[in-house]
Amino acid sequence: MVATTIKKHNFSAGPAILPQNVFQEAAQAVLDFNGIGMSILEISHRSKDFEAVMAEAEALVREIGGFDDSYAVLFLSGGASTQFFMAPMNLLGEQEKAAYVDTGTWSSKAIKEAKLFGNVEVLASSKADNYNYIPKEYSVPKDAVYLHLTSNNTIFGTQYQAFPDSPVPIVCDMSSDMFSRPFEANKFGLIYAGAQKNIGPAGVTLVIVKKEWIGRAGRKLPSMLDYSIHLEGESMYNTPPVFPIYVMMLTLRWIKETGGLKMVEQHNQAKAKLLYDEIDNNPCFKGTAAREDRSLMNACFLPTNPDYEATFLDTCKKADISGLKGHRSVGGFRASIYNAMPMESVEVLVEVMKDFAQKNG
Ligand SMILES: *Cc1c(COP(=O)(O)O)cnc(C)c1O
């Protein structure tokens, strides 16, 4: 048996695992924030202590991701689902065109919303194959305002290994692989990520957008849906999600202390390799995603015999493995192995899979 001190091995797809020390510090801040004798939950967002949190969170986003001053860094609410419409609302004129690639449930929702605000050209889709691969054969029209991609398809376990060359800036939903690997910041006009998959708790959405792009659609917008208002108000036009931002800041500190995106990526690659090797070699399981597009974040796999499904989940439960049930649109199992997932937990899962094959295979 793998020796482990971890009480539960949490493979949940989101909200998902965060580093243990982040939980401890967050818990402490709920009781007494910075030794000020008050909880972070009861102080003003305009207080000096919280303004320092905002400033550090923004600085960490810039430093970790390599975003210079030409980008605005915003901490908003409404989840990635709000960005599905807020991005085209702010960026895409009524008569203009945006290009989208349909790689899963989240992409198709983004497409549906964008159609409310301009012309949407879907360049490619893997829907006919239940989104088990990332389409690569398409060319991006030069007259599109942007190319929208979903970098990691949380439900189907596929991920862009490299972003396509595009003549126009990329707008990217990075909700489930934000800060899991290095990327070239300047390819992107806008990046958005609901925090709860990889960089924090639910309640805050990180939006990074080229300042020169803000307001380009020329549309009249309600203040809360206007990037320029949030930029001007430094994400405090209204009360921001104070606690989620604090926990995201702690998680970003942890990423920096871990050694930044290069080190995080190495760790993620090692975990994914261990797990996919087992999926490929174990007679009781088979992977669902095309090998070259496999996600480092969400590994989807099916039992080779439908009878295994319930018994394997039951076996996992006994081994303190949680959150392994696959999304209903794929079935089987999904192991989400985000940044904070320790190698030890993946080792435990792999051992349980090996053991299962010995007893059932
Ligand atoms: C979870 C997820 C979403 C939806 O995020 P919400 O914050 O719940 O709106 C969007 N895109 C991707 C890739 C996701 O994984």
Tell me: the pLDDT tens digits for 42-74? Answer: 999 999 999 999 999 999 999 999 999 999 999
Answer whether CATH 1.20.1200.10 is correct for domain 260-360. no
Q: What is the pLDDT of residues 227-269, one digit of tens each?
A: 999 999 999 999 999 999 999 999 999 999 999 999 999 999 9
Q: What is the pLDDT of residues 196-207, one digit of tens each?
A: 999 999 999 999
Report yes or no on whether pTM surpasses 0.85: yes
- pLDDT value of residue 58: 98
- pLDDT value of residue 1: 65
Mean pLDDT (the chain, rounded): 97
Residue in 102, 173, 177, 226 annotated catalytic: 173
CA 285 to ligand 1 center in whole angstroms:
27
Question: At residue 4, does pLDDT exceed 80?
Answer: no
Q: What does the pLDDT average to over 160-181?
A: 98
Q: Domain 22-258: give its CATH code.
A: 3.40.640.10
CA 150 to ligand 1 center in whole angstroms:
10
Pocket of ligand 1, beta carbon within 6 A: 14, 79-81, 106, 150, 154, 173, 175-176, 194, 197
Domain layout of the chain by residue ranges: 22-258, 260-360
Q: What is the pLDDT of residues 281-298, one digit of tens each?
A: 999 999 999 999 999 999
Question: At residue 6, does pLDDT exceed 90?
Answer: no
Question: Is 106 an active-site residue?
Answer: yes
DSSP letters for 160-212: -SSPPP-SS-EEEE-TTTTTSS---GGGEEEEEEEGGGTTS-TT-EEEEEEGG
